[in-house]
Amino acid sequence: MAKKVRAIILRTAGTNCDQETAFAFRDSGADVELVHVNYLFQKVKRLDDYHILAIAGGFSYGDDISAGRILANELRLKLGQDIARFIKDGKLIIGICNGFQVLVKAGILPGSQGPDLKREEFVQQATLTTNDSGKFEDRWTYLKVSGRCAWTTGMEGIVYFPVAHGEGKFVCQNKRILRGIQDNDQVVFRYCAQDGRKTDYPGNPNGSCDEIAGITDATGHILGLMPHPERHFLFTQHPFWTRLAKKSRYGDGARVFQNGVTYIKKHC
């Protein structure tokens, strides 16, 4: 059992939400380091020294080519072996918003769909592209929790997280890949109406296929999602918290970070 859970939050030009993500992990009991990605490239810091890798929201490298593309290429080409070893060791990865875009475009998610693919061979199978609305969407969304994932253990029903993105539409390369994700219970979050029913815009703010808001890999150790759990970590971050009867310290997003830390304490 790990005496202390060590989480690394990657930073690079354009990153934001890293401080909110660090707060969430620290409050959940982890030791947190915010590390510029160049420190990993230059071997000043080693990914092996951590239990959790977090890629926070933001606009890495200004999304100059497409959202998350440059950082995704850097991680795949410069840290591919380190990340593959990190995954094989059973450690956890989370990518939020821009971080989700990075994981998908690096081929880390959804991960291998067949036994012939080695995990080191990260191949992009899906993308997150321009919202159907053609504009930046900044709103709160209801999400139905499903699938099997270490990050969402014990989470049931519907949660309420905000989104803030211009390229959040999840699309698979083909129907076979989408079916594989669905059949493997890798869809962790789906946009929904307040009562849990299927929804369209603005409940599904970007037009994602199958209302997909977040997925995991086949192991359940890697989570990528467009909505921001760190922005509803505290109960008072709910936009209508003063009107709600139930008061507590934590909001719907806290369980995600607490689950990650708890999992490492039990398994690593």
Catalytic residues: 97, 228, 230
Rounded Cα–Cα distance for residues 187 and 191 (Å): 11
DSSP 3-state of 37: helix
CA distances to 103, 119, 187, 248 from 217, rounded to whole Å, are: 11, 11, 9, 32
> What beta strand segments (E) does 71-225 contain?
92-96, 126-129, 137-145, 158-165, 169-172, 187-192, 212-216, 222-225
Q: Specify which residues 9 forms β-bridges with.
A: 34, 54
Buried b (16+ CB within 10 A) or exposed e, 21-54: bbebbebbebebebbebeebeeeebebeebbbbb
Q: Of 213, 255, 211, 249, nearest to 230 (Cα)?
A: 255
Say how far apart CA 249 and CA 267 lie, in whole Å.
27
3-state secondary structure (DSSP) of residue 256: helix
Sign of CA dihedral 56, 59, 62, 64: positive
* Burial annotation 93-112 (CB, 10 A radius, 16+ → b, else e): bbbbbbbbbbbbbbbbbbbb
SS3 75: helix
